[in-house]
Amino acid sequence: MRLELRDVHHVYAAGTPFEVAALRGVSLTVEPGEVLGIVGGTGSGKSTLVRHMNLLLLPAGGEVLVDGVDATTLKKSELRRRVGLVFQFPEAALFAPTVDEDVAFAPRRLGLDEDEVRERVRESLGLLGVGDLAGRSPFALSGGEKRRVAIAGVLAMGPEVLVLDEPTAGLDPATRGELLDLIRHLREAGVAVVLVSHDLDEVAEVADRVCALHAGRVCAIGTPAEVFYRDPGLAPVTVRVASLLQESRPEIGEPVRFGETVAALSALSGV
């Protein structure tokens, strides 16, 4: 599916003295099967933005379109199955006595038969590398394991777009790397992923396109190179290193991913 936000506005506490315009005319698309990174400082509107992707928040102005159709005309349950939203620290919502029961909760509510539910639970836990935890209590798991079980719960709905809001915050480096592998894997399986993150190095590694927000507006959107080379001061480490070399060695181009950067810098004579 193709998800489009067209001139979306959002105002918190409208009509009160505490009124805050969180989004001021945001337009972007999530193309089928792509990884879209959303970056921006605290308070730039990232979390407000992604809550419009499945109409958890309704825009005060503008519209959300699914394959060109106004999303408000679709059944909400259908929209939320197709666009799965994983909040920050999603492990806080784990509730069932066992991991597999927790993950089975949402697909069961879709009215699937029990064999199909079992299959989806097995598949989702497997994708996240936590299949062996199925019978355990979610509350006895480590932080990284809980996070993965919570993501599996959303994945089990079979979304076409998976929105992850700061999925790696507070995780150890190896677990962070495993979640990035999962994102690559989902892309191969045709699932579009929206990755909200303040870790620019991590966005650089997996995003096909990047959208930078500032004060509720899109200040840059495009390929990672287009966005990150605009302001190398707040860019991933790879871009910062390459930008410092660019002036005297323009032939290195604009590498972003780690592998691309190594290749570009190795090509400099003598390194």
Query: What is the binding site for another protein (CB under 8 A)?
Result: 40-43, 140, 142-145, 169-177, 198, 200-201, 234, 236-238, 240-241, 244-245, 248-249, 258, 261-262, 265-266, 268-271
User: Closer CB to another protein, residue 144 or residue 158?
Assistant: 144
Integer angstrom CA distances of residue 200 from 162, 185, 233: 19, 20, 12
User: Closer CB to another protein, residue 1 or residue 215?
Assistant: 215
CB atoms under 10 Å from CB of 240, counted, come to: 14
User: Closer CB to another protein, residue 159 or residue 255?
Assistant: 255
Taking the complex as a whole, how short is the minimal distance between the CB of residue 190 and another protein, in angstroms? Answer: 29
Query: Three-state SS string across 148-165, please?
Result: HHHHHHHHCCCCCEEEEE
User: Closer CB to another protein, residue 60 or residue 215?
Assistant: 215
What is the C-alpha to C-alpha distance for residues 84 and 56, in angstroms, rounded to an integer?
A: 11
What is the C-alpha to C-alpha distance for residues 222 and 176, in angstroms, rounded to an integer?
A: 24
User: Closer CB to another protein, residue 58 or residue 169?
Assistant: 169
Taking the complex as a whole, how short is the minimal distance between the CB of residue 13 and another protein, in angstroms? Answer: 12
Taking the complex as a whole, how short is the minimal distance between the CB of residue 166 and another protein, in angstroms? Answer: 9
Q: Produce one character per residue of 219-237: b if its CB has 16 or more CB atoms within 10 Å, e if not.
A: ebbeebbebbbeeeeebbe
First to last CA, the chain: 45
What is the C-alpha to C-alpha distance for residues 176 and 153, in angstroms, rounded to an integer?
A: 18
Taking the complex as a whole, how short is the minimal distance between the CB of residue 90 and another protein, in angstroms? Answer: 15
Taking the complex as a whole, how short is the minimal distance between the CB of residue 179 and another protein, in angstroms? Answer: 12
